[in-house]
Homo-oligomer: A and B are copies of this chain.
Amino acid sequence: MKVLQIGLGPIGMAISRLLMRKPGWEIVAAVDTDVVKQGRDLGDVIGLESPVGLDICSEIPPLDPDDVDLAFLTTVSTFTEVLPTLHTLARGGIHVIASTEELFYPHHRYPQQTQELDTIAKQHGASILGTGINPGFVMDTLALLLTGVCQDVARIAVTRVVNAAGRRPSLQKQIGVGMSPEAFAQAVEQQRVGLVGPTDSLAFLADVLKWKMDGFKERLVPVLTHKPLQAAHGQIESGQVCGVRHLIKGISNGKEVISFDLRVYLGAEQTRDTIYIEGTPTLESTLKSPDLEDVAAAGLLVNMGPLVYQARPGLLTMIDLPLPHYQR
Which residue of chain B has the shortest Cβ distance to A143 in the bound complex?
B325
Chain A, residues 141-159, CB within 8 Å of chain B (1/0): the string is 1101111111111000000
A321 to B323, Cβ gap below 8 A? Answer: yes
Interface residue tally for chain A (C-beta within 8 Å): 51
Cα A59 to Cα B300 with chains together (Å): 47
The residues of B that contact A324 with a CB separation of less than 8 Å are: 145, 148, 323
B149 to A292, Cβ gap below 8 A? Answer: yes
B325 to A147, Cβ gap below 8 A? Answer: yes
Question: How many copies of this chain?
Answer: 2
Residue with the greatest number of chain B CB neighbours at <10 A, chosen from A149, A152, A153 = A149
Which residue of chain B has the shortest Cβ distance to A299 in the bound complex?
B151
The residues of B that contact A320 with a CB separation of less than 8 Å are: 322
Chain A, residues 291-307, CB within 8 Å of chain B (1/0): the string is 11001111110111000
- B133, B280, B304, B326: the one contacting A147 at CB < 8 Å is B326
A148 to B326, Cβ gap below 8 A? Answer: yes
Q: A284-B288, A288-B284 are in contact. Are A151 and B325 (CB under 8 A)?
A: no
The residues of B that contact A292 with a CB separation of less than 8 Å are: 149, 281, 283
Chain A, residues 69-111, CB within 8 Å of chain B (1/0): the string is 0000000000000000000000000000000000000000000
- List residues of A whose CB falls within 8 A of some B CB: 18, 133, 137, 141-142, 144-153, 208-210, 279-292, 295-300, 302-304, 318-326, 328
Q: List 12 A-B contacts (CB under 8 A).
A: A137-B148, A144-B323, A148-B304, A149-B300, A151-B302, A208-B325, A281-B295, A285-B285, A285-B286, A285-B287, A319-B325, A323-B324
Besides A148-B303, A319-B323, 6 new A-B residue pairs in contact (Cβ under 8 A), listed by A number: A145-B145, A148-B299, A148-B326, A149-B297, A149-B300, A280-B295
